[in-house]
A = this chain, B = another copy of it.
């Protein structure tokens, strides 16, 4: 199984690599289009070779159009003395993402219409966007806002918004089957760490690892701008959609919270059950029902597609105060949490890869397991090894109606134990694999 070969020192090493990759990506000013995304994909390409797609502005994608491409060099607000009181060079969050070019002078009272702050978190710069309505603006901390004296300011946004491309990356790992597992992460947020550098670097390292493994399913990784990216991919790849049998949106996976999962719209498909099976073994966790608000699962689970795609996160969007503020920085995530999230994904894939249906070849009464060296010979003690219990569960429920995951759920035993027992029984001819 995928996880079998990963030692705990591998995990530590992996955590460091994930964090270092995030550190490299953190300063880049990303948006839903433009150079920031291109530079990001270039760095991820060092982790795993990915195909970069460039979709021209104006391309019609369902009810939407690919927008003009946005790029930015600089932005600032200068006071009467010419001091940069707000400076894009200090934090790319300071600019309202997708601001149109602007240069001018105005009074503070007029400027206020273009300023966004967070009174409840006076130290933090909020992250705000205006993709689909032309606008310009600055985001700043409430403390900064309070310090702005009345008077006139010079304002400059040195950006461009003009026909270009929407850029996204794709990695395809071919498996034995054409059936696919989709892994989607959004790459459009500027200097925010947990949301969603964490998701994209984990996805890249997952792809890198899966390329080295024999796998039953094919895996498709998408590195896309949120919303418009998944809409664009779905619109331009409709013929591929029916191959997607399971999927995960990865986001917010580096913070110190426990794992959470938002079910697919279908609600109880294999990906949902596999995630829950894994999280149950980890102690605290939380499962949310599907709702049509969130990340790209909104599009994958729109009624015209209704794909079996859920979302894996630690603390989900909007549940941590650092969300969409300058406090979601590299100090908010840790190598251990990142590697733990990655191995959680592998455990999930292990279930999907190995869930099979077997048929007990000796269905009337139990076989004499000690004959096959599968059972202790001294009877009478109530303590039965976990492996023997797993054998009994697999034998009893392998009547063609239950898969291994069903049996793990019924028994309360770990999927790995059940799969191991099934393999031992199959090896002795006591089970027949019905999945092939």
* Cβ of A427 under 8 Å from chain B: no
Given A292-B392, A303-B360, A303-B363, check contact A324 B380 (CB 8 Å): yes
Highest count of chain B CB atoms <10 Å: which of A227, A265, A303: A303
**A186 proximal to B (CB < 8 A):** no
Chain B min CB distance to A43 (Å): 24
- A304: chain B residues at CB < 8 Å are 360, 363-365
A176 at the interface (CB under 8 A from B): no
Give chain B residues whose Cβ lies under 8 Å from the Cβ of A142.
none
Within 8 A of B (CB), among A275-323: 291-293, 298-299, 301-306, 317-318, 323
Identify the closest chain B residue to A377 (Cβ).
Answer: B133
Rounded to whole angstroms, the CA-CA distance of A299 and B303 in the bound complex is 43
Return the chain B residue nearest A296 by Cβ: B365
- A411 and B291 within 8 A (CB): yes
Q: With A and B bound together, what is the CA distance between A85 and B302 in angstroms?
A: 77
Would A381 and B128 be within 8 Å (CB), given that A133-B370, A393-B292, A395-B292 are in contact? Answer: yes
A130, chain B: closest CB distance, angstroms: 6
What sequence of 0s and 1s flags, for each residue 79-105 of chain A, a beta carbon within 8 Å of any chain B beta carbon?
000000000000000001100000000
Complex contact A382–B317 (CB within 8 A):
yes
Task: Indicate if the CB atoms of B63 and A378 lie closer than 8 Å.
Answer: no
Q: Which one of B64, B132, B366 lies within 8 Å of A377 (CB-CB)? A: B132
Indicate with 1 or 0, residue by residue over A366-407, a CB within 8 angstroms of chain B CB atoms.
111011000001111110100001001101111100000000
Q: Closest approach, in angstroms, between the C-beta of A190 and any C-beta of chain B?
A: 11
Which residue of B has the minimal Cβ distance to A399? B303
> In the complex, what distance in Å separates the CA atom of A305 from the CA atom of B384?
24
A45 CB-CB contact with B under 8 Å: no
A254 within 8 A of B: no
Does the CB pair A127–B301 fall under 8 Å?
A: no
Distance A362 CA – B127 CA, assembled complex (angstroms): 30
A317 to B383, CA, bound (A): 11
A270 close to B (CB within 8 Å) = no
A379 touches B128 (CB 8 A): yes
Residue of B nearest to A189 (CB): B380
| Interface-lining segment among A5-13, A202-210, A217-225, A229-237 | A229-237
Contact of A132 with B363 in the complex, beta carbons under 8 Å: no
Q: How far is the CB of A389 from chain B (nearest CB, A)?
A: 6
Question: Does chain B have a CB within 8 A of A247?
Answer: no
Contacts of A398 in B (CB 8 A): 303
Can you list the 5 inter-chain pairs with the closest CB atoms, starting with the nearest? A304-B363, A304-B364, A318-B382, A133-B377, A292-B396
29 contacts between A and B (CB under 8 A): A62-B365, A62-B367, A63-B366, A63-B371, A96-B378, A126-B380, A128-B379, A128-B380, A128-B381, A129-B378, A130-B379, A131-B379, A133-B377, A227-B366, A231-B365, A231-B366, A234-B365, A291-B393, A292-B393, A292-B396, A293-B392, A298-B366, A299-B365, A303-B395, A303-B397, A303-B399, A304-B365, A305-B365, A318-B382
